[in-house]
Amino acid sequence: MVNDDCIFCKLANGVFETNTLYEDDDFRVIFDASPATKGHVLILPKEHAANVFELSEETASKVFVLAKKIATVLKGEEVEYFDIKITKVDEYSKTKNITFVIKDDALLRITGGIVQGMSGSPIIQDDKIIGTVTHVVIDNPISGYGIFITTMLKEGEK
Ligand SMILES: [Zn+2]
Protein backbone atom coordinates (compact mmCIF):
# COMPACT_ATOMS: atom_id res chain seq x y z
CA MET A 1 0.00 0.00 0.00
CA VAL A 2 1.15 3.51 -0.80
CA ASN A 3 0.76 6.29 1.76
CA ASP A 4 0.06 9.69 0.14
CA ASP A 5 1.80 11.60 2.93
CA CYS A 6 4.98 9.58 2.82
CA ILE A 7 8.01 10.98 0.98
CA PHE A 8 9.61 7.54 0.68
CA CYS A 9 6.50 6.15 -1.00
CA LYS A 10 6.61 9.02 -3.47
CA LEU A 11 10.29 8.41 -4.21
CA ALA A 12 9.79 4.64 -4.48
CA ASN A 13 6.83 4.92 -6.80
CA GLY A 14 8.26 7.54 -9.11
CA VAL A 15 6.10 10.51 -8.03
CA PHE A 16 9.31 12.48 -7.49
CA GLU A 17 12.15 12.25 -9.95
CA THR A 18 15.09 10.23 -8.64
CA ASN A 19 18.46 9.02 -9.80
CA THR A 20 17.37 5.42 -10.08
CA LEU A 21 19.94 2.68 -10.03
CA TYR A 22 17.64 -0.31 -10.01
CA GLU A 23 13.92 -0.98 -10.07
CA ASP A 24 11.72 -4.05 -9.92
CA ASP A 25 8.14 -4.80 -8.87
CA ASP A 26 8.94 -4.47 -5.16
CA PHE A 27 11.74 -1.93 -4.86
CA ARG A 28 13.40 1.14 -6.26
CA VAL A 29 17.06 1.71 -5.43
CA ILE A 30 18.19 5.32 -5.73
CA PHE A 31 21.42 7.19 -5.24
CA ASP A 32 21.19 9.28 -2.08
CA ALA A 33 20.87 12.99 -2.88
CA SER A 34 23.58 13.73 -0.28
CA PRO A 35 25.64 10.56 -0.11
CA ALA A 36 27.60 9.76 3.04
CA THR A 37 30.01 7.63 1.01
CA LYS A 38 30.63 7.00 -2.67
CA GLY A 39 27.93 4.73 -3.97
CA HIS A 40 25.59 5.38 -1.06
CA VAL A 41 22.18 4.18 -2.16
CA LEU A 42 18.71 3.88 -0.65
CA ILE A 43 16.66 0.74 -1.10
CA LEU A 44 13.02 1.83 -1.06
CA PRO A 45 10.22 -0.73 -0.84
CA LYS A 46 7.24 0.27 -2.98
CA GLU A 47 4.81 -0.83 -0.26
CA HIS A 48 4.54 1.70 2.56
CA ALA A 49 6.12 0.82 5.89
CA ALA A 50 6.77 3.27 8.71
CA ASN A 51 9.77 1.21 9.76
CA VAL A 52 11.45 -2.11 9.08
CA PHE A 53 9.08 -3.94 11.46
CA GLU A 54 6.10 -2.98 9.32
CA LEU A 55 7.55 -4.57 6.21
CA SER A 56 5.97 -7.85 5.25
CA GLU A 57 8.27 -10.79 5.91
CA GLU A 58 8.46 -11.47 2.20
CA THR A 59 9.58 -7.91 1.39
CA ALA A 60 12.01 -7.79 4.31
CA SER A 61 13.72 -10.98 3.17
CA LYS A 62 14.06 -9.61 -0.35
CA VAL A 63 15.82 -6.48 0.98
CA PHE A 64 18.86 -8.46 2.04
CA VAL A 65 19.15 -10.35 -1.22
CA LEU A 66 18.87 -7.10 -3.15
CA ALA A 67 21.32 -5.24 -0.88
CA LYS A 68 23.93 -7.92 -1.45
CA LYS A 69 23.48 -7.80 -5.20
CA ILE A 70 23.71 -4.00 -5.29
CA ALA A 71 26.81 -4.04 -3.09
CA THR A 72 28.50 -6.49 -5.47
CA VAL A 73 27.77 -4.28 -8.44
CA LEU A 74 28.87 -1.08 -6.71
CA LYS A 75 32.33 -2.44 -6.04
CA GLY A 76 33.09 -1.33 -9.60
CA GLU A 77 36.24 -3.00 -10.86
CA GLU A 78 35.57 -5.93 -8.61
CA VAL A 79 32.26 -7.00 -10.11
CA GLU A 80 32.12 -10.54 -8.92
CA TYR A 81 29.23 -11.97 -10.82
CA PHE A 82 26.54 -10.92 -13.22
CA ASP A 83 23.82 -12.72 -15.10
CA ILE A 84 24.45 -13.45 -18.74
CA LYS A 85 22.54 -15.34 -21.38
CA ILE A 86 24.54 -17.46 -23.77
CA THR A 87 23.19 -16.78 -27.25
CA LYS A 88 25.57 -18.84 -29.38
CA VAL A 89 28.09 -21.61 -28.91
CA ASP A 90 30.82 -22.38 -31.46
CA GLU A 91 33.02 -25.23 -30.36
CA TYR A 92 35.47 -24.82 -33.28
CA SER A 93 36.28 -21.12 -32.84
CA LYS A 94 39.70 -20.29 -31.40
CA THR A 95 38.62 -17.46 -29.10
CA LYS A 96 34.88 -16.97 -29.61
CA ASN A 97 33.38 -20.22 -28.35
CA ILE A 98 30.66 -18.45 -26.44
CA THR A 99 28.59 -15.45 -27.47
CA PHE A 100 26.56 -13.89 -24.69
CA VAL A 101 24.49 -10.90 -23.67
CA ILE A 102 24.31 -9.34 -20.22
CA LYS A 103 20.97 -9.93 -18.49
CA ASP A 104 21.73 -8.11 -15.26
CA ASP A 105 19.72 -4.87 -15.09
CA ALA A 106 21.57 -3.49 -12.09
CA LEU A 107 24.94 -3.99 -13.75
CA LEU A 108 23.75 -2.42 -17.00
CA ARG A 109 22.44 0.66 -15.24
CA ILE A 110 25.82 1.28 -13.65
CA THR A 111 28.31 0.28 -16.29
CA GLY A 112 26.24 0.52 -19.48
CA GLY A 113 27.53 -2.90 -20.44
CA ILE A 114 30.67 -4.92 -20.34
CA VAL A 115 33.62 -2.94 -19.05
CA GLN A 116 37.31 -3.59 -19.51
CA GLY A 117 37.83 -5.13 -16.11
CA MET A 118 35.51 -7.96 -17.02
CA SER A 119 37.94 -9.58 -19.44
CA GLY A 120 39.08 -12.79 -17.88
CA SER A 121 36.00 -13.08 -15.68
CA PRO A 122 34.91 -16.68 -15.33
CA ILE A 123 31.70 -17.78 -17.04
CA ILE A 124 29.88 -20.08 -14.66
CA GLN A 125 27.05 -22.42 -15.56
CA ASP A 126 25.47 -24.81 -13.06
CA ASP A 127 28.27 -24.02 -10.57
CA LYS A 128 31.00 -25.05 -13.01
CA ILE A 129 33.45 -22.73 -14.76
CA ILE A 130 32.85 -23.29 -18.47
CA GLY A 131 34.95 -20.44 -19.84
CA THR A 132 36.17 -16.87 -19.44
CA VAL A 133 35.18 -13.54 -20.96
CA THR A 134 37.53 -12.54 -23.80
CA HIS A 135 36.01 -9.81 -25.94
CA VAL A 136 33.46 -7.07 -25.92
CA VAL A 137 31.41 -6.44 -29.03
CA ILE A 138 32.44 -2.82 -29.64
CA ASP A 139 29.22 -1.54 -31.18
CA ASN A 140 27.04 -3.56 -28.80
CA PRO A 141 28.52 -3.36 -25.29
CA ILE A 142 25.86 -5.56 -23.72
CA SER A 143 27.20 -8.42 -25.80
CA GLY A 144 30.51 -10.24 -25.51
CA TYR A 145 32.50 -13.35 -26.27
CA GLY A 146 34.01 -16.01 -24.12
CA ILE A 147 36.40 -18.86 -24.64
CA PHE A 148 35.77 -22.40 -23.37
CA ILE A 149 37.96 -23.37 -20.47
CA THR A 150 38.81 -26.54 -22.43
CA THR A 151 40.02 -24.45 -25.42
CA MET A 152 42.21 -22.39 -23.10
CA LEU A 153 43.76 -25.48 -21.59
CA LYS A 154 44.47 -26.94 -25.03
CA GLU A 155 46.09 -23.68 -26.17
CA GLY A 156 48.18 -23.67 -23.02
CA GLU A 157 49.60 -27.10 -23.82
CA LYS A 158 50.91 -25.98 -27.23
ZN1 LIG B 1 5.72 5.14 2.62
Residue 97 Cα to ligand 1 middle (Å): 49
Residue 34 Cα to ligand 1 middle (Å): 20
* Distance from C-alpha of 139 to C-alpha of 136, rounded to nearest angstrom: 9
CA-wise closest residue to 39 among 79, 81, 94, 82: 79
Residue 27 Cα to ligand 1 middle (Å): 12
Burial class (CB within 10 angstroms; exposed 0-12, middle 13-18, buried 19+) of 12: buried
Residue 36 Cα to ligand 1 middle (Å): 22
DSSP state of 15: S
Residue 123 Cα to ligand 1 middle (Å): 40
Question: Which pLDDT belongs to residue 89?
Answer: 92
Residues of the chain with pLDDT under 50: 77-79
Question: Which pLDDT belongs to residue 156?
Answer: 62
Residue 44 Cα to ligand 1 middle (Å): 9
Residue 84 Cα to ligand 1 middle (Å): 34
Spatial strand order of the sheet with 27-31 comes to 20-23, 27-31, 41-45
Residue 11 Cα to ligand 1 middle (Å): 9
